[in-house]
Amino acid sequence: MMRRGDDVKRFVFLWPYLLLSVSLVLSSCGPESTSQDVESYLAVSLSLDSNNDLEPIQPIPLTISLDQQKVRLGDRLFHDPRLSHDNTIACSSCHDLTKGGTDQAYRSTGIKGAIGGINTPTVFNSGLNIRQFWDGRANTLEDQIDGPTQHPAEMGSTWPEIIGKLQQDESYAKDFSTIYADGMTAATIKNAIATFEHSLLTPHSRFDQYLRGEQDAITSLEKRGYALFKNYGCVACHQGANVGGNLFQQFGLFTDKDTGDDRVDRSPAKTDDHENHRHMVKVPSLRVAVLTPPYFHDGSAATLPDAVRKMARVQLGRHLTEKEIAAIVAFLYTLPGQYQGHDL
């Protein structure tokens, strides 16, 4: 998307500001708004919640059409450490499906104990992202797979090495020849893994049930948290079915733009070095955020309240009360859904 011309890039970069402006105009509540102003907005916002057409967040689809043979093959590959040079690291090592699709670590550990340079994002709902990686350098899930498999501090392998090892497994050879006309290649391995990753949706959250009309699916505190989430402009970046993942934003709009990591100190698609495109990171999805501490690309927020507090300050120029933070965190706890029929 970032290569389709300056107009498209400008829209992606300005989209959060446009949404934030609309939010502030509708609420008439700036950073110095009074409690009465906020409560008045919340009353209006809560009265609109029953109309799903007016909501910036949409439910995750309950079903998705995928080739189940490829999903099963990709599942096996995703958990296979033979994709790494020393047969010790699988995709699931850093993207543990029992830990919200991450390893819940400040930095991930690769082959030979190497420590990565950036916090691992969740793989759940990653198929809903506009691009992959924090800096957006991969267009698709297939493209993304090239990164960790060949990075010397992650899996440290090559495609000839991976294919050579997997071809010795008769069950793999049989499955690839059955499913793919080209058999086992780098492209078909990546396609199988990406198809599995597309299956990692988390539908039927309590909040999605609420959006679909079940008013009692979330509590009054959680509804208040959602109203604050909208009123204070969090939805400027965190919206859509994935509650994020669909645009890029500068880290630190109201503070010095110090990302803390040179790897994200560049334009998302690496198309230029324009100063306005520096410090841009992909806005993360909040769908399973309650399961994936620590937070941000640099892992600098240890807890969810810490993350909410910092985001309000550096992205919105607001200093929230502890009650407001607790309400927003309560709302975030309504977002994880189900995987394979089980609550996350």
Residue ending a domain, choose from 163, 181, 198: 198
Question: How far apart (Å, rounded) are the C-alpha atoms in residues 182 and 125?
Answer: 28
Does 101 share its domain with 221? no
Copy the structure tokens of residue 320. 């929230």
pLDDT, tens digit, 9 for 90 and up, residues 162-214:
999 999 999 999 999 999 999 999 999 999 999 999 999 999 999 999 999 99
Copy the structure tokens of residue 7. 């107009």
Q: How many domains does the chain have?
A: 2
Give helix 186-198 / helix 141-150 axis angle, nearest 10°. Answer: 120
Residue ending a domain, choose from 156, 175, 198: 198
Does 121 share its domain with 12? no
Copy the structure tokens of residue 167. 């071809």
320 DSSP 8-state letter: -
How many other C-beta atoms lie within 10 A of the C-beta of residue 295? Answer: 21
Copy the structure tokens of residue 92. 């699931």
Does 194 share its domain with 207? no
Does 94 share its domain with 166? yes
pTM of the shown model: 0.83
- State the CATH number of the domain containing residue 296: 1.10.760.10
pLDDT band at 22 (very low <50, low <70, confident <90, very high): very low
Amino acid occupying residue 239: Q
Candidates 180, 204, 202, 154; CA nearest to 74 is 180
The pLDDT, as a whole number, for residue 7 is 35
Any idea which residues carry the catalytic annotation?
A: 154
pLDDT, tens digit, 9 for 90 and up, residues 237-294:
999 999 999 999 887 777 655 444 444 444 444 444 555 555 689 999 999 999 999 9
Does 139 share its domain with 89? yes
1: in domain: no
Domain range spanning residue 160?
A: 68-198
- Beta pairing, strands 248-250 & 280-282: antiparallel
Residue ending a domain, choose from 198, 228, 262: 198
The pLDDT, as a whole number, for residue 54 is 79
Copy the structure tokens of residue 60. 């995750």
